[in-house]
Amino acid sequence: QSALTQPASVSGSPGQSITISCTGTSSDVGGYNYVSWYQQHPGKAPKLMIYDVSNRPSGVSNRFSGSKSGNTASLTISGLQSEDEADYYCGSYTRSTTLVFGGGTKLTVL
Amino acid sequence: QVQLVESGGGVVQPGRSLRLSCAASGFIFSNYGMHWVRQAPGKGLEWVAVIWYDGSNKYYADSVKGRFTISRDNSKNTVFLQMDSLRAEDTAVYYCARRVSGSSAPWAADYWGQGTLVTVSS
């Protein structure tokens, strides 16, 4: 159950778009369409932003979108806003019938 | 509105046990699988366990398998995490979370509690 690989940090200016990658293997990200993304502000519980690779829960802004190619999933945030500054985690179902998270990416809005 | 409230955290010595509870409200609890996820201080998220809506299936992370047990009482709208043989590396905030609705599988969580801190230290 190795953690999925995410960049430690990404940054962007207000109004720009950024993409966070999440790399796994064919036993997790690449093998199933059960990738999810979570936003976490300091001291707060995680919030689900994307599930099943590209589905947005009700109430999540359409500025957030998800995709997958091979063993790498991506979260794209368009029209960056200051409130998007947070930690982001990807998660994936695995062949071992478990859930594995990425190490997290700190998004800084410049 | 959906609410999940964890309790039972605290300071415990290595090798001892602790039982966490998560009280759910605002939805039909018996229809949803439930997860436990933990986060060590300053670290990332780590999935711990999941239990099916009816308790028929339970799965665990390798790091806790054989030491932790997830269970639920649908008559009390509560999910539990029994933690035995605790180690220093189990120190974390423990969150319970509801499986996402709208997916064919329970491998994402759409509502999370506020978390309860477990500190394992002598």
Interface test with B, best of A89, A99, A105 (most B CBs within 10 A): A99
How does DSSP classify residue B107?
Answer: -
Which of A87-96, B51-60, B102-111 has the least mean pLDDT?
A: B102-111
Overall average pLDDT of the B46-71 stretch:
96
Cβ contacts of B113 on chain A, cutoff 8 Å: 45
Position B24 pLDDT exceeds 70: yes
Residue B104: the pLDDT is: 78
- In 3D space, the residue among A40, B104, A42, A39 whose CA is nearest the CA of residue A50 turns out to be A39
Measure B1 CA to nearest chain A CA, in Å.
Answer: 14
Q: Are A90 and A23 in contact (CB under 8 A)?
A: no
Q: Is A64 on the interface with B (CB under 8 A)?
A: no
Q: pLDDT (tens digit, 9 = 90+) per residue, B102-121?
A: 777 889 999 999 999 999 99
Q: Is B112 on the interface with A (CB under 8 A)?
A: yes
CB atoms within 10 A of CB B121: 10
Do the chains contact at A91 and B107, CB–CB below 8 Å?
yes
Position A1 pLDDT exceeds 90: no
Q: pLDDT (tens digit, 9 = 90+) per residue, B93-102?
A: 999 999 998 7
Q: Is B68 on the interface with A (CB under 8 A)?
A: no
How does DSSP classify residue A84?
Answer: G
Q: pLDDT (tens digit, 9 = 90+) per residue, A23-82?
A: 999 999 999 999 999 999 999 999 999 999 999 999 999 999 999 999 999 999 999 999
Interface test with A, best of B1, B37, B45 (most A CBs within 10 A): B45
What contacts B74, CB < 8 A, 6 or more positions away? B29, B30, B54, B55
Q: Are B28 and B77 in contact (CB under 8 A)?
A: no
Do the chains contact at B44 and A1, CB–CB below 8 Å?
no
Residue B116: the pLDDT is: 98
What contacts A95, CB < 8 A, 6 or more positions away? A27, A28, A31
Cβ contacts of B45 on chain A, cutoff 8 Å: 38, 40, 46, 89, 91, 101, 104
Q: Is A92 on the interface with B (CB under 8 A)?
A: yes
First to last CA, chain B: 40
